[in-house]
Structure 1
Amino acid sequence: MKKISFLPLPVLLSLFLLPGCSQANQFKSLVPISTPIANQWEQKLSPLPTTINLGITFYSQAPFGNWDMPYQEACEEASLLLAYYYVTQKSVTINQFETDLLAMINWEINYFGQYQHTTIAQTAEIAQNYLNYQNLKIIENPTTDQLKAELSQGHPIVAPFAGRYLKNPYFSGEGPIYHMLVLRGYDQSHFITNDVGTKHGENFIYPYETIIETLHNWHDSASLSPNGILNGKSLVLVLQ
């Protein structure tokens, strides 16, 4: 009779769990939460930090996993709220986040007539007129170093994208034609994001070139053809 050997339980568990964990971890930043540079003058006197990761709270645009409308089209609102909570040092529960998200959507419907496909200019308008937050700016055609400089000063960045070109493996189907997320930091080769389009989006990393090349504001031609989004300008909204 052959001798039957049994593997210890921890080893058995690792055989099942490691592949999934490894796949998830390859998209996650391990950069610890950072202290930003105090001010612009200090930044000019010293090189940019090698890594930065701002301690921005994460909730997805579908905080309780319901991806029906309006949550399906709420990436802009969710991204703006997360950045706003950070700069105003506001701590919120997931329930409060959902309440804030739905209230913002209702305000947009009354103000703009709709809430889908919010442009960067409209997102800035929401921040100013709804959240009453004025300390912000829009940067056109930002470079990698410009984005890193803003993040190093503790400024979260709300950024719009040609969503399908991000190639996020957690997106449903091909992914959204238009998408918005928060840039929260960087390492030597990647930007660190809070990608509200997936429950796996906290500390999600994208290569520098992916962020720069897929950065596109909403363009109406995207309503006619998915590739129309590539006509959108390269813009970001910085909350200071």
Structure 2
Amino acid sequence: MPPIVRIYKKSIVTALFLVIVLGTGGFVFRGELRNLLDFKKITEQAGLPKETAIDETQNLEEVISREENISSEIAADDSSKDSEQEVLGAATQKKPLPAEINLKVPFTPQAPHANWELPYGEACEEASALMVHYFFNKKTFTKESADMEIKKLVDFQTKKYGFYKDSTADETARFIKDYWKYKKVRVLPASIDAIKQELATGRPVIIPAAGRLLGNPNFRHPGPLYHMLVVKGYTKDGKFITNDPGTRNGANYVYDQKALMNAIHDWNGGDVNNGKKVIIVVDKNK
């Protein structure tokens, strides 16, 4: 066999060997990377505060209600300085925010069966709204129930509004009210304190976000242009606890508070990075 042919064959064998090795190594590496991400998630979750069920938040709502009533009394009572000072004293003794809280919001990814084709790839708004609704109604998800509920929400919006993709905060609040008949769904300016105040009274918070600013390593590169997720708690050390429907690893996913605040932006016609910083808060019907 001529030397050139022999060298050529040897090169082909070497190339095939490298392809097999690198392919196998890449597969192993991806598996190891996935395991590392899962381990990081499990480690972070181990230190999270105990989850608070909807029934356990009732006393928090009662505290806020009493404070609001006291404030109303102050405004209405002009008859006596002494009585006004008594009421004022009671009103200023507000219960401070808990050091940490973690509401027991059930989780579903927006693609319950890991099928990221439409409508699931665009269903973060629906999945986020569903998680809040299920929390208020003490329900849990199966893959089948989540899949059915997401499709029903998509169908409802398509028929009623003519679209379901890339819903703004106001549009998301609208379909929550129209579909489930919630009487009060608020879109508020976003701040760390505003989010904590709502969580402390037993209300999960839905946030619109520039998905690529979230820096979630579980997202498919480069991440969603626009995203929605649920904030369900906060920790003592400056983290927000979320249910992020954009990944199967989204239950109790922890974001740094400043990083999450930086990513909060409304749709803004597709110019998401310049969208308003707002949050969506659903008040449970009495």
Identify the residue that residue 215 of structure 1 maps to in structure 2.
Answer: 264
Q: How many residues align?
A: 218
- Report the alpha carbon displacement of residue 212 of structure 1 after superposing the two structures with TM: 1.3
Cα distance in 2 between the residues matched to 1:134 and 1:215? 25
Q: How does 1:12-161 map to 2 (within 5 A)?
A: 19=36, 21-25=38-42, 28=45, 30-34=48-52, 35-36=56-57, 37-39=60-62, 40-41=64-65, 45-140=94-189, 142-161=190-209
C-alpha distance 203-42 of structure 1, shift in aligned 2 (>3 A): farther
Aligned residue for 1:139, secondary structure, equals strand
Cα deviation, 1:84-111, whole Å, max 9, x if unaligned, reads 1112333443312211110100111112
Query: Which of residues 168, 181, 186 in structure 1 aligns to 2:234?
Result: 186
Q: Normalized against structure 1, the TM-score is what?
A: 0.84
Cα deviation, 1:110-148, whole Å, max 9, x if unaligned, reads 1221111011111111111112112321112x2211110
RMSD, aligned α-carbons: 2.0
Cα distance in 2 between the residues matched to 1:199 and 1:147? 24
Cα distance in 2 between the residues matched to 1:193 and 1:217? 18
- Report the alpha carbon displacement of residue 19 of structure 1 after superposing the two structures with TM: 4.5
Cα deviation, 1:49-85, whole Å, max 9, x if unaligned, reads 1111000110100011111111001000000011111
In structure 1, give the amino acid aligned to 2:254: I
C-alpha distance 121-18 of structure 1, shift in aligned 2 (>3 A): closer
Give percent identity, aligned residues only. Answer: 33
- Report the alpha carbon displacement of residue 30 of structure 1 after superposing the two structures with TM: 2.3
Cα distance in 2 between the residues matched to 1:178 and 1:18? 27
C-alpha distance 25-232 of structure 1, shift in aligned 2 (>3 A): same
C-alpha distance 110-50 of structure 1, shift in aligned 2 (>3 A): same
Moved more, 17-26 or 69-78: 17-26
Contact map agreement 1:184 1:194 (CA 8 A) in 2: yes
Asked if 1:203 is matched to 2:246, the reply is no
Asked if 1:235 is matched to 2:282, the reply is no
C-alpha distance 27-70 of structure 1, shift in aligned 2 (>3 A): farther
- Report the alpha carbon displacement of residue 18 of structure 1 after superposing the two structures with TM: 7.8
List alignment gaps of at least 5 residues for structure 2: 1-31, 68-92
Which structure has more helix as a fraction of its residues? 2
Cα distance in 1 between the residues matched to 2:188 and 2:240? 17
- Report the alpha carbon displacement of residue 206 of structure 1 after superposing the two structures with TM: 0.6
Cα distance in 2 between the residues matched to 1:30 and 1:185? 9
Identify the residue that residue 8 of structure 1 maps to in structure 2.
Answer: none
Moved over 4 A (4+): 16-21, 41-44
Cα distance in 1 between the residues matched to 2:36 and 2:224? 27
Cα deviation, 1:180-221, whole Å, max 9, x if unaligned, reads 00010001211100000000000001111012111101011x
Cα distance in 2 between the residues matched to 1:42 and 1:26? 39
Cα deviation, 1:135-173, whole Å, max 9, x if unaligned, reads 321112x22111101001110111100000000000001
Higher relative contact order (CA 8 A, sep 6+): 1
